[in-house]
Chains A and B, each alone.
Chain A
């Protein structure tokens, strides 16, 4: 009785059964999604002997793994590789997808529809099917085992082009025509007028592209052979196969690799939520 009274009084009228179900489901979902991450973090704080001790809170937490990983030149190299790759691809997508999207949205020219359909149709082809031609292309051009080899398939995407086209279509023609009368050239109109008006879409595209490339595994694994060119996910997986599986090292690396993602989510939450809604995507 006393305990019940000390609880903050919930206005019963507001607790609808539907809400309770929703909260419960969300809670379960949250636990399911967060638990692996907690295990990852917890394992990274254990030493090799404790790895198979499944307690969430490590018995003897240690930062030793972190010092070792961060002291390992290879890891830092992979971190740098991932950063370079993800950033370059993001910048490239933001630039080219929006440039092409803008052209398709705002200019009438012969063949415009065919170009658009051609770009769109590539969305239907799964990555797994593209890997083979990519590989052949990379090997013919001598791009295997290079940064460019990792990056080239994603420098522009049909999805990004489509997304940007949809958004540029929402920019009133008046804006562009007024600028034309004021004497801006077409590139400047795009850069100074159209682009700032679609920043929500642009930031959504940037975030998705960055995260997609940061976590990309399949193609970087195929195209790289030398360890200096591994991206973080590929590098971490290589931990798993050399000698014995060093779970605590993998988890430490993964924890560090997750950090940028987490930071992005924390700081850009608003944009991500908006972006997901804008793009009609599932996160």
Chain B
């Protein structure tokens, strides 16, 4: 178990800087997810923590000890890779035992540890198999077993689930979460899937272009995104953003209509009003809330709810209707979102205007 502290961490490849001085403190036992679009520097950051990538500037401390100059093997961390990195020429048991390569244990002790880990992961009956005779999920479990067996200070995961099909991914997500609950080992998990981030993280770190945009619990990010990027990145389907013009205490929507604006919103002439599809529903209009009318263009039936794409004045707005109440395509529909569920952003800077 360990804390991980990152101070003004910089990574440059030659002259191109790809991580621009990020700060992050990970608490002991915390499950932190780094999330962001492709190329934002998630893997690079994780690999610097692991010691696989040289640190250009700043400092990384694991349990208070500066590890900048330490070899990966001396950092007492374990890493799970996207492609599992389990060796095809070794049995499952040998692969797991590889995690104990440097442990000063007798053969019998190692075997016992491997068996114990296999038991935890439900791999016992597969110990003598070759990886080629395993399913994707089983391979991923072996990779996790190999990381676990050493009882490291921290687990680092680099998109470990992205090669699995959707169903298995959900299942492994839960398994990793359960495992973390049981072991309580500090974990850093990289993904570009916001659902994974939301469901697994104690805290999410949203990155873009080598910067950290926001750090917070899943709910904090959902409720109080600091900018348009995070607002659109977290939550599915993405938040609707409607351009509007701020006049005193009202925002006049470009598409017509207006919404009330809380006093805390700083004055700015052009803003974006955000509404999550889940908040934009048929029903009675509320005072100061958002009202959107339009023609139903697409209907996505999910069972529990129905997503409705409304066309209104050249822009598409996504709302939702209860699962059993499926609007017809071409129908004229009016959706409402209550005032206290709306988000406000400055149009130019894309920063959030008010913490609601």
Contact = CB atoms under 8 A, between A and B. Distances in A.
Interface string A170-196: 001011011111111000000001001
A172 B73 contact: no
A88 to B, nearest CB: 27
A172 B52 contact: no
A174 B85 contact: yes
B98 A175 contact: no
Contact of B52 (A175, A180, A184, A196): A180
Contact of A178 (B71, B85, B102): B85
Interface string B100-133: 0110000000000000000000000000000000
The contact size tier of chain A is 10 to 19
Contacts of A183: 73, 101-102
Interface of B: prevailing SS: loop
A193 B87 CA distance: 7
B81 interface: yes
Contact of A175 (B71, B78, B87, B102): B87
Contacts of B146: 178, 182
B102 A182 contact: yes
Contacts of B85: 172, 174-175, 177-178
B163 to A, nearest CB: 12
B52 A197 contact: no
A193 B86 CA distance: 10
Contacts of A182: 73, 98-99, 101-102, 146, 150
Contacts of A196: 87, 89
Interface in B49-70: 50-52
Contacts of A180: 52, 71-73
Interface-central residue, A172, A174, A181, by most chain B CB under 10 Å: A181
B334 interface: no
Interface residues of B, number: 23
A178 B81 contact: yes
B138 interface: no
B80 to A, nearest CB: 9
Nearest to A185: B73
A174 B82 contact: yes
Interface-central residue, B50, B77, B101, by most chain A CB under 10 Å: B101
B83 A174 contact: yes
Nearest to B97: A182
B144 to A, nearest CB: 12
B262 interface: no
B88 interface: yes
A197 B89 contact: yes
Nearest to B143: A178
Interface in B198-230: none
A174 B81 contact: yes
Nearest to B149: A182
Given A180-B52, A196-B89, A172 B102 contact: no
A203 to B, nearest CB: 14
A181 B83 contact: no
B92 interface: no
A71 B99 CA distance: 57
B79 interface: yes
Contact of B72 (A181, A193, A197): A181
Interface in A175-233: 175, 177-184, 193, 196-197
10 contacts: A177-B81, A179-B101, A180-B72, A181-B72, A181-B73, A181-B78, A182-B98, A182-B102, A183-B101, A193-B87
Interface of B: 50-52, 71-73, 77-79, 81-85, 87-89, 98-99, 101-102, 146, 150
Interface of A: 172, 174-175, 177-184, 193, 196-197
User: What 9 A-B pairs have minimum CB-CB distances, sorted nearest first?
Assistant: A183-B73, A183-B102, A178-B85, A174-B85, A174-B81, A196-B89, A181-B72, A182-B101, A174-B83
